[in-house]
Structure 1
């Protein structure tokens, strides 16, 4: 399995650019002599016949996605469109990448399936190995999959670090408004205020940890400044272009009259000290930097634009909105202000809403559009993905409890493709049984070798048991 994970890590596979990794997956299927299907969306399905004596068992689909979230540390030079990941072993058990996301989400699942396909001594029912594309953005691969190519009514998804039997849906809202400008006041000092050092992570799986959001925290400093200091806002950027990850970095360029600079520095010092104190257990390495700007923008936002941006970022819901009472310790709904960009003629903001029940998802969406319409901000839905409803037979439930005894059957707080599969395969029983990985969607991502070996054995055990059951 580790062999295939390493091979995968050497292939750039950012969302929207998965031709190479799709060809790699299809090539393995064909080289092993299996029937292999590859579609226009670059999804791949590989059919492995049942082990001898298990030909009469019902087929099982096993599924993972090929793309990965592409995040890196600010100091790291890495081009995700062409550079392989640099893997490292920390101690003798922890696998990480150097300065970037590891792609364990969902590379570990892909590697499990490839190892299953390659080993012809394993015992299992007929296998339909499904690899999808663009899961980390709009799940376009799963939406575009030819479901008539899948005969299995039981699907094992390998994109969860636990045992999950239902999960969240999500809705991304993209917002924009015209950037009004004005000249920068003469004799102003121009500074860049930056926040970094945050852990980041997956906005669903890590929602209950309440990690810091660099965009929201930076806006808090700008709001405090606005109360006490006259300044101009020239630019604001935050997030890594993907709303499914907590923003680890954000920056704003500001201009002050000489008489205001001392007071501004006192406000910044006071508010950033408050934030550091609040975040010490959740984001202990959070850092703020207030430095002269060497190459400032040539103009400032006008007052209307600056006020609109600050108000929008203050009003948008961010964080856990409601708790799940069926699955204690899980969220029911949450949202994340994931991206803010200063573009040539407009300002652009995205928010990602997640919820385990559709009503809460659309209520949060209503809140967002009411805020936008009150402020005169254009908005559109970037994607709207279904939640995953529970549908588990008693015999499968008993088998999972036997082989995963320490796990309660839970809910995926992240949005998996399972909801799309259940919508397209009537009566399908879907369970997520992935091997654990940690700090997904951040450069701190890792998995543990001993855990991965354990979950690999469990994955093989459940397939063997399923192969023993007759259709």
Structure 2
């Protein structure tokens, strides 16, 4: 007996468990791709795999509906590999271990679950197996490396796609249809710093315990970024205690940074003053972020050795001040709908190597002009602080389409099934739909998925009770496509 025994649809949950048994972090999807190829071969479907590792499986229409317009379904094979501190899980070799809370919420043990984007994969695999589903010709696109710059979809030959309507299953909920999403600009600020002799004890200053979360979906919640807090803490510390900064480090994350550390140098007579400053700051921060980040911690620990080199005073001050000044969070809301974010920014990495501090950020917006206007402002900020800004990548968004026949059909099918209205959502997260919309402008796209929360964190979870309603909607939608005049 498996942990998901008894949950429905049986074939959908079976595939979920089988996917969880196959390691598939970004850049390591080969075994999962081989598994999906094997399923295609078992059920007699033609498939094509490209050089990047993307896989397209073609399903013939249900007999009698061969002349209907084809439909594209899409999901990505990779998952984010995040785990709790202290976990010894190896994402390259270990299966995801599952447990259920409250009877229907599926979690992993101390790691990401991978429901992002296994919820899409399992429904596509179930369609490959289930010959009772009435459907038009179908193209099932399984992509790689979505979680790391969407590398897979960007290498896809778009001429292999013949459909002009598409369902993405990487966002939305069973009762929420996503109709647009953000693109991004990814850039790095580089600040040269000068080292000089230092005398004193080396300490690690660490911010931890923040909630973090998806930097698109959760950016408007008010959750703290460890990078912004570290800039604030270091600026306050430098003003009141003339310490020296050796290094700053925030490991790369595509989410809101949940922790960061710095190495500083304190003379023996400075330690008590520094601890008092940090104690007061921690009290203020805990009050400020009591609702969003209740586990916030700020610690100062001796490293057990003296430091003889650190940034000089001017470099350390610029390093801290630029970190504090870096914009974070929502920059612009839709003036007609304050729930819709049109522009946001987040710092995803900070490093200090070879005399240069790097601050890596990502700007999101479905509107190109908003992204580049913010880049211009940040370039000025960089120049004023002695840094430089280098754009490393950019990606188109998926714009909202007012006259969408697919949106209308989805709303009709959902209303017929539930008697309720399907909610509409425009997301600040980036999705592979942007690349497809940019390459195929007449593609009519919607996105829905079973209910999941906590993506990109070890608290990611899936509501198992939404799998059956989503499957019923999906199969009803495909039948409706066959019944269209």
The TM-score range, normalised by the shorter chain, is over 0.9
The residue number in structure 2 matching 1:184 is 198
Q: Which runs of 5+ in 1 are unaligned?
A: none
Task: Tell me if structure 2 keeps the 8 A contact 1:221–1:272.
Answer: no
- After superposition, the Cα gap between the structure-2 partners of 1:363 and 1:76, relative to the gap in structure 1 and judged at 3 Å, is same
2:338 match: secondary structure: coil
Q: Residue 462 in 1 paired to residue 477 in 2? A: yes
Q: Residue 308 in 1 paired to residue 318 in 2? A: yes
Q: Structure 2 matches for 1:147-296, cutoff 5 A?
A: 147-161=158-172, 162-185=176-199, 188-239=200-251, 241-242=252-253, 244-294=254-304
2:457 match: secondary structure: coil
| CA distance in 1: counterparts of 2:22 and 2:424, whole angstroms | 34
Residue 406 of structure 1: how far off its partner (Å): 4.1
Query: Which of 412, 417, 421 in structure 1 is aligned with 2:436?
Result: 421
| CA distance in 1: counterparts of 2:178 and 2:470, whole angstroms | 14
Cα RMSD, aligned residues only:
1.9
Task: Kindly tell me the number of residue pairs found equivalent between the two proteins.
Answer: 466
- After superposition, the Cα gap between the structure-2 partners of 1:231 and 1:359, relative to the gap in structure 1 and judged at 3 Å, is same
Task: Tell me if structure 2 keeps the 8 A contact 1:65–1:131.
Answer: yes
The residue number in structure 2 matching 1:87 is 98
Task: Tell me if structure 2 keeps the 8 A contact 1:392–1:430.
Answer: no
Deviation digits for residues 436-459 of structure 1 (CA, Å, limit 9, x no counterpart): 211111111111111232222212
- After superposition, the Cα gap between the structure-2 partners of 1:20 and 1:305, relative to the gap in structure 1 and judged at 3 Å, is farther
| TM score, norm. by length of structure 2 | 0.91
| CA distance in 1: counterparts of 2:429 and 2:78, whole angstroms | 16
Deviation digits for residues 115-169 of structure 1 (CA, Å, limit 9, x no counterpart): 1112122111111000112212222221211222111110111110331111111
| TM score, norm. by length of structure 1 | 0.94
Q: Identify which range, 283-292 or 212-221, moves more after superposition.
A: 283-292
Residue 170 of structure 1: how far off its partner (Å): 0.9
Q: Residue 141 in 1 paired to residue 152 in 2? A: yes
- After superposition, the Cα gap between the structure-2 partners of 1:199 and 1:373, relative to the gap in structure 1 and judged at 3 Å, is same
The residue number in structure 2 matching 1:17 is 28
Residue 341 of structure 1: how far off its partner (Å): 1.9
| CA distance in 1: counterparts of 2:375 and 2:123, whole angstroms | 37
Residue 318 of structure 1: how far off its partner (Å): 0.7
Q: Identify which range, 9-18 or 136-145, moves more after superposition.
A: 9-18
| CA distance in 1: counterparts of 2:111 and 2:105, whole angstroms | 15
Task: Tell me if structure 2 keeps the 8 A contact 1:26–1:37.
Answer: no
- After superposition, the Cα gap between the structure-2 partners of 1:369 and 1:458, relative to the gap in structure 1 and judged at 3 Å, is same
Deviation digits for residues 54-104 of structure 1 (CA, Å, limit 9, x no counterpart): 222211000011112222222212333333222221231111112122121
Q: Structure 2 matches for 1:31-70, cutoff 5 A?
A: 31-70=42-81
| CA distance in 2: counterparts of 1:435 and 1:119, whole angstroms | 19
Residue 297 of structure 1: how far off its partner (Å): 6.6
| CA distance in 2: counterparts of 1:314 and 1:233, whole angstroms | 15
| CA distance in 2: counterparts of 1:169 and 1:15, whole angstroms | 20
Task: Tell me if structure 2 keeps the 8 A contact 1:29–1:46.
Answer: yes
Task: Tell me if structure 2 keeps the 8 A contact 1:327–1:410.
Answer: no
- After superposition, the Cα gap between the structure-2 partners of 1:193 and 1:113, relative to the gap in structure 1 and judged at 3 Å, is same
Deviation digits for residues 274-314 of structure 1 (CA, Å, limit 9, x no counterpart): 11101111111222222222467763223243223212212
- After superposition, the Cα gap between the structure-2 partners of 1:116 and 1:425, relative to the gap in structure 1 and judged at 3 Å, is same
Deviation digits for residues 360-389 of structure 1 (CA, Å, limit 9, x no counterpart): 111111122222233332432232110112
- After superposition, the Cα gap between the structure-2 partners of 1:11 and 1:319, relative to the gap in structure 1 and judged at 3 Å, is same
| CA distance in 2: counterparts of 1:19 and 1:325, whole angstroms | 45
| CA distance in 2: counterparts of 1:111 and 1:343, whole angstroms | 43
